[in-house]
A and B are shown apart, each in its own frame.
Chain A
């Protein structure tokens, strides 16, 4: 008789396609081979986790067809089972897996389409956050504006791809024109993916706004974010870029050297002075 931990480990190994001798030795026959009993559980694990990945990656399913997707998912699940019980959080590394999966070699754009779908899934389930009141910024002392740091909404992802993944995504939606085609020569794209109200949306970005938001997302202050944007495009204008983020409610926290809305999760104060 093995310890509870050993038994679970042996069971888990068998469920993920490894050898089952260690666990079958602990199971009663009851008129059916223990290995056949383990197979019932294994089937459920692989089928339901495949369904979870299909739900998160419907465009990838469409691009490679369902049977091939199930084959790829089976390989992925055995080597990368979930580490937590919320299935909407499962599959983040699937794009990396696809990019290294030899049968997908000829679909160079596939991994980036998966990254877009992951960003959309992440946006859908991201924590709710209270939007910063734009009046906060007007209360910042002028000599501190350059050093203001802004926190983006948890649903925001920024994605850059050498492929037109936004067009690929759109032409593979239910109800899209089946005759529509995407030219892979259309070039790359930079996208902002986020949740607005209840809807997950994405929009193309210029190289400058992309650099600006990426800098904010990595915790740089406004001056450095503007510097990053201007190194991509010297004509970058802060006012409309910032205004758009505020209008869409995508800024959920801010700090200046002498004022702070608090750490992550804190509600911004409307009148910091």
Chain B
């Protein structure tokens, strides 16, 4: 596991970056001082140099496998073939973390390559819990489930998202991957309070925090935030991250960047900033322990 209560000042804070193909060679050559690398599981389910390279990096870094294709919140049964391929990669890489999303992506036989929203109601809660349990049984370990960025709400959706995630964690033993950028984006898009969202999340279940940039788009005259992972983390999201660390403790944290990928150093600078905030939170926790 990635240590969340590291006490030594010499050990890097449990901060990682999302590893994307254009950065792999540089990471291999320079081995930057970060605690972990996160990759999209679906990009490593074949053979060849991609997975062999990840195996090599695994010697120096903890790896987090972040899936986008299990469609945990979908109506269809789990895709067994896909799940078995994920299991094969988990066995090969022995990742520190395995995560997926509270979303669906397969509808009418098509894989839509998007983390699509579901209505939050009791029947979906039950069905999603069952699927998470199947995944955890198959993989032989607990997974983390991430809150999605949302651009719409359904008319029928009687359960709040924090409540839905809390209940998933309670019923299945899964952890929660708290994406604070997604909390900010979704809250902004529906005029809700992101702090209230954090306050509604359970303190013991957060296993990882995600940070990323977002874009502001004009949708018919109304600004809409889009979780495009295409820029530096926005200041209000850093503020929210500080609040999350205060509430949930020094949880392993990761900076993601997918579109308009910058130089690796830009990404590492963002991770270093997260590391400083995380260290400060560790200090506070130590202070509390000492007191």
Residues of A in contact with B (beta carbons under 8 Å apart) = 1, 3-5, 7-9, 11-13, 15-16, 26-28, 30-34, 36-41, 44-45, 48-49, 52, 81-89, 124-129, 154-155, 195, 198
Contact = CB atoms under 8 A, between A and B. Distances in A.
B75 A48 contact: no
9 closest A-B pairs by beta carbon, nearest first, are A85-B69, A125-B46, A12-B107, A8-B107, A4-B75, A81-B110, A128-B47, A198-B49, A37-B152
B138 to A, nearest CB: 16
A87 B50 CA distance: 14
Given A28-B155, A36-B219, A84 B111 contact: yes
Contact of A88 (B43, B68, B118, B151): B43
Contact of A83 (B48, B110, B116, B124): B110
A32 B222 contact: yes
B86 to A, nearest CB: 10
B75 A87 contact: no
B113 A52 contact: yes
B69 A86 contact: yes
Given A39-B219, A85-B111, 8 more contacts: A1-B156, A4-B127, A8-B75, A41-B116, A41-B152, A45-B112, A125-B46, A126-B47
Contacts of A48: 113-114
11 contacts: A26-B154, A27-B152, A39-B219, A41-B151, A84-B69, A85-B71, A86-B42, A86-B69, A87-B42, A124-B49, A198-B48
A127 to B, nearest CB: 4
Contacts of B104: 8
B47 A82 contact: no
B194 interface: no
B122 to A, nearest CB: 12
Contacts of A41: 114, 116, 151-152
Given A4-B123, A8-B107, A26-B155, A44 B47 contact: no
Contact of B47 (A3, A45, A125): A125
A37 B70 CA distance: 24
Given A4-B75, A16-B110, A32 B116 contact: no
Contacts of A125: 46-48, 50
A9 B104 CA distance: 12
Contact of B48 (A1, A26, A86, A126): A126
Interface string B42-64: 11011111111000000000000
Contacts of B74: 4, 8
A83 B82 CA distance: 11
A192 B271 CA distance: 44
Q: Which of A26, A33, A155, A195 has the largest number of chain B CB atoms within 10 A?
A: A26
B269 to A, nearest CB: 26
B193 interface: no
B136 interface: no
Given A4-B75, A86-B69, A126-B48, A11 B107 contact: yes
B153 interface: yes
Contact of B219 (A7, A28, A40, A129): A40
Nearest to A3: B75
A33 B154 contact: no
B1 interface: no
A12 to B, nearest CB: 3
Contacts of B70: 85
Interface in B148-190: 151-156, 189-190
A126 B47 CA distance: 5
A30 to B, nearest CB: 6
A45 B114 contact: yes
B241 to A, nearest CB: 24
B41 to A, nearest CB: 9
Given A49-B113, A126-B48, A128-B48, A85 B42 contact: yes
Nearest to A129: B47
A6 to B, nearest CB: 9
Nearest to B109: A83
Interface in B71-119: 71, 74-76, 79, 82, 104-114, 116, 118-119
A33 B119 CA distance: 18
